[in-house]
Structure 1
Amino acid sequence: MPSVYRGPKCRQQVREWCLEQFGESGVPHHRRGISTGAGTTSVVTAGPDPAAASPSVVLVPGTNTNGAVYRHVAEALAARWPTVVLDVPGQPGLSADARPRRGRSVWYGRWLTEALEQAVPGKALVVGHSLGGAITLASASPRIVGRVVLSSAGLVRLLVPPAVVAATVPWLVRPTVPRAARVLGHMVAPGGRVPDVLAEWMALAARCCHSSFAPPPLPPRLLAERRAVPCLVATGRHDVFLPPRRVGPAAQRHLGARLHVLEGSGHLLLDEAPDEIVTLVEQALAALRGDAA
């Protein structure tokens, strides 16, 4: 299987960046590696001690991102609940670097099922963004008692506007922070700010890594099977890849779920609306408690 990295030096640069980010965290956390069929998986736990009797919140980041990029979201979740962040294998970060050329949706679903067995002591509310949302939907883990999928791939094919392509090519050919910021500027709501640390990371990722493409929609039969577990679906009003007009009907058709639209956001919900993400997780957990009662 091909590596996400352009070479060993690149792998080390990404690892050092991620560890530096965790070193700057003001929230106590524990990082460890677990062995899976997809290779070593980095697991970061924070917040209250997980308990088998109540769900842990598990965050699965999307394409070209990881737990270090989204430690601010993990910290916000950990202030309320036991929180686990998984770096996705085959994406730049602290997990294994290889990914298959074909059958990635099935491969990633099996990986998440296996990782949850080791990462949480009991039930899990899994929160997935973009590629992470598709992975969350692909997994049939019995530990998953609820899903929150944010700007999620897997439901419909992503749109790629020409303006995004035009900004992406220079970023990939000669990565710089300003070029990364221009690409990301298409992914936030009009007038939205691209976080400096995200632009810095995406420049490093383009220099050091081979980016993967968006996954195709998951099979309708698989998505129908996911109806057995509550799923909260959200997207940004200004998401250029997954606009509400496309995600809403797909979420209702495949999952029987009503779409939550975050009015002031684009595709980068974890960066643009972390407080709203915490609220959505709170709503999902409250619904689970209501179902249990």
Structure 2
Amino acid sequence: MQSVYRNARGQAAVQQWCSDALARADFPLATTTVDTTAGKVHLASAGTGRPRIVVIPGTGHNAAAALPWLRELSQHWPTTVVDLPGQPGLSDQRRPRRARLAWYGRLLDEVLDVTQMHGVVLVGNSLGAAVALAAGSPGVAARLLVSPAGFVRLTVDPKLVGASAAWLLRPTPDRTRDMLQLFVAPGRDAPETEVEWMTLMAANCRTTLAPPPLPAALLADRAHLPCLVAVGEHDRFLPPQRLAPVVQRTTNTRLRIIASMGHLATPEHLPDVVALAAEVAGPPSS
């Protein structure tokens, strides 16, 4: 097993940022931790009613960094965001060195079982989408996958390689902004909160390689449940024209395109995420 943090000081800095962000949230939320075979898993929840939305964030993200998702979705359904172990956040710091997607899938199954969440809609973003696909719990009713890993290998062009290398070598806010410009649509700016978080994360955490595609047999099995897949119009990692045929073949559904969005879903795109969630979750109960 490997820790996501470079050292104890970095772990403390990251977890303090997360705790402070959750404490400053401008809407009511509750946090808890559950014990699993992978250690403690942190959950942040908001909203009431049914069905429950369970959000699995992308690489290097967590409930604190995904607060806009929790705020927006919880206005319509009760929503829980899972901090994945081995990713920076408030869960256990350890992750396996290989076969991570299968491990994360089993972990998410365990979290749903321990918390007795049934009939949930998994909303996975980037790495979180691959984890949502890897999970096979009977408690899952449907999936919404946004900017999803797990279908194809991510495209990394030379410009992305250069910007990412500079950011990792010496993470400053300016270098983070330069890199994140490649994550958003042309002419758009990444939110400053995202710049702050990604700078802190790069300075204190070990990187995680992009997950590989999941086995075709597993993707075919997951297609038995309702599933929507969406990607940004300007996603450089997952160009729609490359992702669409694979999604059609494996899930028998049409890839949805979110206009004016890159790989990073910023707050302005979250109403689109809500509209897509409503297609698989249905209207919230009163």
Aligned residues of 1:266 and 1:272 also touching (Cα < 8 A): no
The corresponding residue for 2:227 is 231
The corresponding residue for 2:139 is 143
User: Do structure 1's residue 122 and structure 2's residue 110 form an aligned pair?
Assistant: no
C-alpha distance in 1 between matches for 2:61 and 2:4 = 12
Give the 3 Å change call, closer, same or farther, for CA 279–120 of structure 1 in structure 2.
farther
C-alpha distance in 2 between matches for 1:250 and 1:269 = 21
Identity %: 42
- Aligned letter for 1:264? S
Aligned residues of 1:235 and 1:269 also touching (Cα < 8 A): no
1:54-93 matched pairs, under 5 angstroms:
54-93=50-89
Deviation for aligned residue 1:272:
4.9
What is the SS of the residue equivalent to 2:174?
A: helix
Normalised TM-score (structure 1): 0.94
Offset from partner CA, 1:201-220 (integer Å, 9 cap, x none): 00000000001011000000
Q: Where do 5+ consecutive residues of structure 1 fail to align?
A: none
The corresponding residue for 2:217 is 221
C-alpha distance in 1 between matches for 2:222 and 2:284 = 16
The corresponding residue for 1:2 is 2
C-alpha distance in 2 between matches for 1:119 and 1:265 = 34
- Aligned letter for 1:129? N
- Aligned letter for 1:36? T
1:30-49 matched pairs, under 5 angstroms:
30-48=30-48
Aligned residues of 1:5 and 1:210 also touching (Cα < 8 A): yes
Deviation for aligned residue 1:122:
2.1
1:147-166 matched pairs, under 5 angstroms:
147-166=143-162
- Aligned letter for 2:52? S
- Aligned letter for 2:29? H
What is the SS of the residue equivalent to 1:235?
A: strand
Give the 3 Å change call, closer, same or farther, for CA 120–259 of structure 1 in structure 2.
farther
The corresponding residue for 2:17 is 17
User: Do structure 1's residue 29 and structure 2's residue 25 form an aligned pair?
Assistant: no
* RMSD of Structure 2 on Structure 1 (CA): 1.5
- Aligned letter for 2:221? E
Offset from partner CA, 1:30-83 (integer Å, 9 cap, x none): 10110112211101111115xxxx420011000011110111110111111111
What is the SS of the residue equivalent to 1:26?
A: coil
C-alpha distance in 2 between matches for 1:287 and 1:223 = 27
Deviation for aligned residue 1:287:
9.1
Deviation for aligned residue 1:86:
0.3
Aligned residues of 2:190 and 2:266 also touching (Cα < 8 A): no
C-alpha distance in 1 between matches for 2:90 and 2:266 = 19
Q: Where do 5+ consecutive residues of structure 2 fail to align?
A: none
Counterpart of 1:100 (choices 88, 96, 117) is 96
- Aligned letter for 2:215? P
C-alpha distance in 2 between matches for 1:201 and 1:269 = 15
The corresponding residue for 1:132 is 128
Aligned residues of 2:117 and 2:139 also touching (Cα < 8 A): no
C-alpha distance in 2 between matches for 1:158 and 1:129 = 14
Aligned residues of 2:191 and 2:266 also touching (Cα < 8 A): no
Counterpart of 2:107 (choices 95, 111, 115) is 111
Aligned residues of 2:121 and 2:143 also touching (Cα < 8 A): yes
Give the 3 Å change call, closer, same or farther, for CA 200–220 of structure 1 in structure 2.
same
What is the SS of the residue equivalent to 1:66?
A: coil
- Aligned letter for 1:105? L
Q: Which segment drifts farther, 184-193 or 262-271?
A: 262-271
What is the SS of the residue equivalent to 1:273?
A: helix
Aligned residues of 1:73 and 1:270 also touching (Cα < 8 A): no
Aligned residues of 1:188 and 1:272 also touching (Cα < 8 A): no
Counterpart of 1:191 (choices 183, 187, 194) is 187
Deviation for aligned residue 1:223:
0.5
- Aligned letter for 1:183? M
The corresponding residue for 1:177 is 173
The corresponding residue for 2:196 is 200
- Aligned letter for 2:219? L
